[in-house]
Amino acid sequence: MKNQLILTERVMKNQTLSLEQIASICGVSLNLVRRWIEKKGLTVDPSDGTGEKVRHADMINFLVKFNMQIPDSIMPFKVKKILFIYANASDDKLFMRFLINFLGQLKKEKRGFIADHISYGPDAKMKVMVFKPDLIILDMTEHEEDAVNMSKLIKSTEEFGSINLVAITGADLFERYKVSAQKSGIDEVLIGSVEIGPLAKRLMGFS
């Protein structure tokens, strides 16, 4: 699973930034921005014709793809950032199906969101620090240790205090994992097989 941004098409779809604005906002040189375009795949707005404009959505996509912090000044208003943290063993299992269905539902409802994902491990904390999500959805479909340890790490870091934590598990493990999850600071444990529509609305309502 490639570590990249998933961005709703409606988020600042047609708004653009000049290369000079990008350099100023990101605190880098204009030459570096041009290298991002030439060497790193930052996409210029094809409708502009000058090669000197980048759409907001493409700029945000680029920053998250390369694990760079998104400046507040280019963040769309009222857009939520969601981070999914999963176990490597979860490929094609419950959590992956949940992730795909959940994001599909948000796109269907045309909700503004930016989402990223990473597996449990040493890079997960750095991803939280750089991405600064409003909501983290934790994979707890196989066993609870990774989610519990990740929650404790987040809750012990003062700057992460406002992040909402939700763990996704299977119906057969719900009662078994619920207590240990909530003791570790996870705000809510949910069954991944529940109806996605109402659940998506509920989670996107978290402040």
User: pLDDT digit of tens for each residue in the chain (207 aa)?
Assistant: 444 555 554 445 568 899 999 999 999 999 999 999 999 999 998 887 788 899 888 898 898 888 888 887 887 667 888 999 998 765 557 788 888 888 888 777 767 788 888 999 888 988 998 898 989 999 998 778 999 999 998 888 888 878 999 999 888 888 888 888 888 889 888 888 777 777 777 777 764
The pLDDT score that the predictor gives to residue 120 is 92
Please say whether the beta carbons of 108 and 140 come within 8 A: no
The pLDDT score that the predictor gives to residue 38 is 92
Please say whether the beta carbons of 44 and 53 come within 8 A: yes
**Portions of the chain given CATH number 3.40.50.2300:** 80-204
Looking up tokens 């600064």, which residue turns up?
Answer: 132
The pLDDT score that the predictor gives to residue 3 is 47
Fold of 9-71: Arc Repressor Mutant, subunit A (1.10.10)
The pLDDT score that the predictor gives to residue 148 is 92
Handedness of CA 75, 77, 79, 83 (dihedral sign): positive
Q: Report the amino acid identity of residue 182.
A: Q
The CATH number that domain 80-204 falls under is: 3.40.50.2300
The pLDDT score that the predictor gives to residue 21 is 92
The pLDDT score that the predictor gives to residue 137 is 92
**Portions of the chain given CATH number 1.10.10:** 9-71
Give the rounded distance of the alpha carbon of 123 from its chain centre: 14
Supply the pTM of this predicted model: 0.76
CA distance 72 to 50: 26
The pLDDT score that the predictor gives to residue 6 is 55
